């Protein structure tokens, strides 16, 4: 039987495990703090734990320690893009961003993505597997060690669809949020989904006060289906009904992400239809100038049309902002750095 990944335990699970190996329950809190708050990578660093217990833990468990393959740093704004290697050799991406309100890390939840959104690079090399809760949290610990900077905000907006990895994502949020761990407030955690409707209802019942972001990107089912395959399964009405349920149960405002694609979804008519869809909801629209990923089909809307779209929404009472573009001089689009890594591996295998 192999060793157990101790990072994967919640505090309650760790307490049960510590008692199962004949030790006092209170040691679980000490160990949990060392792993999740301080971020140690060796049991020998746990100075308030007896050598006997440390040796016992070494025999049966290990501390997850993920490797940074590559880091790209933006000379424009300090954004850092990390390619992180998992223990099985798979690679994921995390993006470190500096804002006035603190340091934010965008984390991945899967290796690759099943969703197939036409404008996203994450789906180009297919789906390999979902991440464990500890691999999700591990991105934060890894980047904090590398940068020596505290992460105060986390966005589940990297590679993968968070609600397609529901149990591990919810568990990771609880671990990240725990006061004995990273203690990142739930209101400083955002989760972005392309719209897996049943799991939006589930999330509303979890009593987690995180911010839900919905990747909407179109105002009609026909347009949405042409760019987001998930729309063939759940239509806009079903999606918005789930959002209304989330708002009712949590009291939290939902952020609707809308990637503006030139000539596709950026017209005045699109803006007015978006107003109609969202009117009466506690909602915010985040306009995203779409990243161009070596595709001819989708082009970024120009600044004038982005401003007009924003002004139309704001004038109708829908609070709208344009996402600040960070890391424009590095492989900022989600999935691009991983795709290069995979392409390079394939080239090496041919040699």
Q: What topology does CATH give the domain 4-62?
A: DNA polymerase; domain 1 (1.10.150)
The residue-averaged pLDDT of 223-244 equals 96
Residue scoring higher pLDDT (76 or 145): 145
Question: The domain 67-350: what is its CATH number?
Answer: 3.20.20.70
> What is the pLDDT, as a whole number, of residue 350?
43
pLDDT at 202 over 50: yes
Q: How far is CA 310 from CA 119, 282, 325, in A?
A: 21, 17, 16
The residue-averaged pLDDT of 103-107 equals 97
Would residue 93 show up in a list of annotated catalytic residues for this protein? yes
CATH 1.10.150.530 boundaries in the chain: 4-62
Active-site hit among 8, 15, 93, 161: 93
Tens digit of each residue's pLDDT (9 = 90 or more) over 285-310: 999 987 655 544 667 778 899 999 99
CATH 3.20.20.70 boundaries in the chain: 67-350
Would residue 334 show up in a list of annotated catalytic residues for this protein? yes
Closest CA to 105 of 170, 151, 67: 151
Active-site hit among 194, 210, 243, 334: 334
Residue whose token pair is 């899967």:
110
Both tokens of 248, joined, read 């009712």
CB 281 within 8 A of CB 244: yes
Tens digit of each residue's pLDDT (9 = 90 or more) over 249-285: 999 999 999 999 888 899 999 999 999 999 999 999 9
Look up the pTM and report it: 0.91
Tens digit of each residue's pLDDT (9 = 90 or more) over 16-53: 999 999 999 999 999 999 999 999 999 999 999 999 99
CA angle 272, 274, 292 (to 5 degrees): 105
């Amino acid at each position: 039987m192999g060793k157990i990944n101790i990072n994967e335990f919640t505090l309650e699970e760790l307490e049960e495990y510590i008692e199962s190996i004949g030790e006092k329950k209170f040691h679980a809190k000490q160990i949990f703090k060392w792993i999740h708050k301080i971020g140690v990578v060796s049991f020998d660093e746990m100075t308030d734990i007896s050598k006997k217990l440390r040796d016992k833990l070494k025999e049966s468990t290990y501390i997850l320690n993920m490797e940074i393959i590559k880091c790209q740093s933006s000379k424009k704004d300090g954004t850092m893009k990390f390619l992180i290697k998992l223990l099985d050799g798979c690679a994921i991406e995390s993006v470190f961003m500096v804002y006035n309100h603190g340091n934010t890390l965008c984390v991945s939840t899967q290796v690759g993505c099943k969703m197939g959104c036409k404008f996203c690079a994450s789906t180009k090399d297919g789906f390999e597997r979902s991440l464990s809760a500890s691999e999700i949290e591990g991105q934060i610990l890894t980047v904090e060690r590398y940068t020596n900077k505290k992460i105060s905000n986390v966005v589940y907006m990297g590679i993968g669809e968070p609600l397609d990895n529901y149990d591990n994502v919810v568990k990771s949020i609880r671990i990240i949020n725990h006061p004995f761990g990273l203690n990142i407030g739930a209101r400083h955690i955002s989760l972005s989904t392309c719209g897996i409707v049943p799991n939006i209802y589930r999330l509303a019942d979890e009593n987690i006060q995180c911010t839900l972001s919905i990747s909407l990107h179109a105002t009609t089912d026909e347009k949405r289906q042409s760019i987001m395959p998930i729309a063939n399964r759940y239509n806009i009405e079903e999606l918005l009904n789930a959002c209304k349920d989330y708002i009712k149960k949590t009291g939290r405002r939902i952020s609707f992400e809308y990637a503006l694609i030139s000539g596709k979804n950026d017209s005045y008519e699109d803006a007015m239809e978006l107003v109609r869809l969202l009117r009466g909801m506690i909602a915010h629209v985040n306009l995203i100038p779409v990243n161009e990923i070596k595709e001819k089909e989708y082009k970024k809307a120009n600044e004038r049309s982005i401003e007009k779209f924003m002004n139309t929404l704001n004038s109708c009472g829908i609070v709208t902002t344009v996402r600040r573009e960070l890391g424009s001089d590095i492989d900022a689009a989600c999935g691009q750095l991983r795709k290069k890594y995979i392409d390079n591996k394939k080239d090496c295998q041919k040699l």
